[in-house]
Amino acid sequence: MPDACSVVRGHKCVVAVGALNDSVAFAHELLTRGASATFLLADTLGAGLAHRSSPFPAVLICENRKAEHQLEAFRNYRDTLANLPAPAVAALDDYDPQRTARLLVASQHHVPSVAGRVTFTKRSEQWMRLEDKTLVDDLWEELGITRARSRVIAVRRDLLDTAVRELDEGEGAVVAGDSREGYNSGGDYIRRVRSAADVADAYGFFSTRCARVRVMPFLSGVPCSIHGLVFPDDVAVFRPVEMFILGQRDGSRFLYAGNGTFWDPAASDREEMRTLARRLGHHLRDRVGYRGGFTVDGVMTADGFRPTELNARAGAAFGTLARSVAEVPLRLTEMALGAGLELDQDPRELEDCVVRAADLHRTGTAWAMTTTSLPSDSVEITVPPRSAAKDPNDPQSTRRTFRVDIGPSQVGGVVRIMLEDPGLAGPDPVAGEVAAIFSRLDHELGTRFAAPFAVARADARCP
């Protein structure tokens, strides 16, 4: 059986994973795994300066497109990949005239083919349907997984009023839209409703985009996720990952701002999440023949983990986990499984390797798009230490400085912060630190993240 690197070994590769600066890093990895050459189909430059020293031929296919939010930017990129402009086709054909290059497309941008080249990883309609947030509760029920109360309703104002009133347990309700317009992510189709004005805003948003919504109580705790890989004969599951979910002081929107492995839940909660993911992975394999990466998102509440959604694709934190274990081709393993290959890889050995590495090397990335136009650059942002909130006079407190990569995006600009400080590790969530960085970016760069705050509650579930 082949190993994961056989996906690219000796092949020309076409990389379509998003922004150019992110694509450059992946292209370098492909060369180390044995690829003969790479060509990049990027949407925009994205955050940072990696493109300035990139040796790879590249085309920006969405440089002149505009989007209101991140999800629209993703969809623009997907649609442009499916209908590649003539100049991009010509550049690609010049690189790969026989059209035999391996086409690697990120799962969130999946298209069946690009300019006559078939995408390496397959995604069936059944798999993509699993992501509909108005259907996932049926899956939790089928598996007997404990979940929060919820109600799925048609998008009608009277039904929304009633559902919010009956499900609000004191901190508002959360409304999530269906996948009528395609998959949604990044919090763009989720709203927290705490007032009549919020209900009106939510109805106005969803009534033109969705047929149905799911309403559930706002869950106080730490937003987090668990990732797994479905093999033909087993499932590998990894460690919990904190999701940096930010709210706005004067709004109902959430901002998904990245993820990290610094936060540690209690040992029993960790195993609960991993057991849930393993059961789910086996179920997906048996029910729809699923292969590849998947993610269960949810909240660690005072009563334990409560799942809220399933992403039947490689979640964003696969990149975070892969950074902890550079010697393992985790992204290529996920792509190979999604393509239906049987690999010379023991799932449990891979699981043990990734979990040990991720526990040892804590890391994270925060990012978000902003309507503020930003140039390609790298800046430093300094924020107060977390301990200052508890004791501003603590002599051990030191201000933290973070490097922030910035650049253009379809929305206007994008920021990215690589988090590598081991001092962030522990039982406290890190999202508050991320919110502080974004607040400083509002002040120093005018990014208009609107006074973001972390929705995570550190005292909700302590080890």
pTM of the predicted model over 0.85:
yes
69 vs 188: CA distance, rounded Å: 7
Look up the domain containing 172 and give its range: 149-218
* In the predicted structure, residue 419 carries a pLDDT above the cut 60: yes
* Residue 205 three-state SS: helix
Number of domains in the chain: 3
Statement to judge: residues 232 and 194 lie in one domain: no
Burial of residue 265, with CB atoms counted within 10 A of its CB: 0-12 exposed, 13-18 middle, 19 or more buried: buried
* Residue 341 pLDDT: 92
Structure confidence by residue, pLDDT tens digits, 101-116 = 999 998 877 899 999 9
Share of the chain above pLDDT 70, in %: 95
Instruction: Determine, yes or no, domain membership for 453.
Output: yes
Q: What is the mean pLDDT of residues 399-406?
A: 90
83 DSSP β-pair partners: none
For the ranges 11-15, 317-321, 444-448, the maximum mean pLDDT occurs at: 11-15
Q: What is the mean pLDDT of residues 40-57?
A: 96
Statement to judge: residues 202 and 238 lie in one domain: no
Cβ contact 12:39 at 8 Å: yes
* In the predicted structure, residue 23 carries a pLDDT above the cut 50: yes
Statement to judge: residues 70 and 208 lie in one domain: no
* In the predicted structure, residue 462 carries a pLDDT above the cut 60: no
Cβ contact 171:302 at 8 Å: no
Q: What is the mean pLDDT of the chain?
A: 91
* Residue 104 three-state SS: strand
Cβ contact 213:177 at 8 Å: yes
Statement to judge: residues 332 and 463 lie in one domain: yes
Instruction: Determine, yes or no, domain membership for 401.
Output: no
Tell me the CA distances in angstroms from 201 to 152, 250, 261, one per residue in order.
18, 12, 34
Instruction: Determine, yes or no, domain membership for 198.
Output: yes
pLDDT bucket at 276, cuts 50 / 70 / 90: very high
Statement to judge: residues 322 and 449 lie in one domain: yes
270 vs 261: CA distance, rounded Å: 12
- The separation between CA 286 and the C-alpha centre of its own chain, rounded to angstroms, equals 25
* Residue 458 pLDDT: 58
* Residue 27 three-state SS: helix
Statement to judge: residues 280 and 336 lie in one domain: yes
Statement to judge: residues 42 and 153 lie in one domain: no
426 vs 357: CA distance, rounded Å: 16
* In the predicted structure, residue 392 carries a pLDDT above the cut 60: no
Structure confidence by residue, pLDDT tens digits, 354-375 = 999 999 999 999 999 999 999 9
Structure confidence by residue, pLDDT tens digits, 159-172 = 999 999 999 999 99
* 58-60/37-42 β-pairing: parallel
Q: What tokens does 202 get? A: 């939510």
| Residue matched to tokens 């039982």 | 427
Statement to judge: residues 437 and 461 lie in one domain: yes
Statement to judge: residues 14 and 61 lie in one domain: yes
Instruction: Determine, yes or no, domain membership for 370.
Output: no
For the ranges 8-17, 182-191, 249-258, the maximum mean pLDDT occurs at: 8-17
Q: Report CA Rg, the chain.
A: 21
Q: What is the mean pLDDT of residues 92-105?
A: 96
16 vs 84: CA distance, rounded Å: 12
* In the predicted structure, residue 186 carries a pLDDT above the cut 50: yes
Statement to judge: residues 90 and 21 lie in one domain: yes
Cβ contact 208:290 at 8 Å: no
* Residue 237 three-state SS: strand
* In the predicted structure, residue 389 carries a pLDDT above the cut 60: no
Looking up residue 302, the CATH number of its domain turns out to be 3.30.470.20
Structure confidence by residue, pLDDT tens digits, 52-74 = 999 999 999 999 999 998 889 99
Share of the chain above pLDDT 90, in %: 78
Instruction: Determine, yes or no, domain membership for 335.
Output: yes
- Hey, what amino acid is at 256? Y
Structure confidence by residue, pLDDT tens digits, 217-226 = 999 999 999 9
The 3-state secondary structure of 373-409, one letter per residue: CCCCEEEEEEECCHHHHCCCCCCCCCCEEEEEEEEEC
Statement to judge: residues 448 and 300 lie in one domain: yes
Q: What is the mean pLDDT of residues 45-57?
A: 96
Burial of residue 411, with CB atoms counted within 10 A of its CB: 0-12 exposed, 13-18 middle, 19 or more buried: buried
Instruction: Determine, yes or no, domain membership for 104.
Output: yes
* Residue 248 three-state SS: strand
Instruction: Determine, yes or no, domain membership for 412.
Output: no
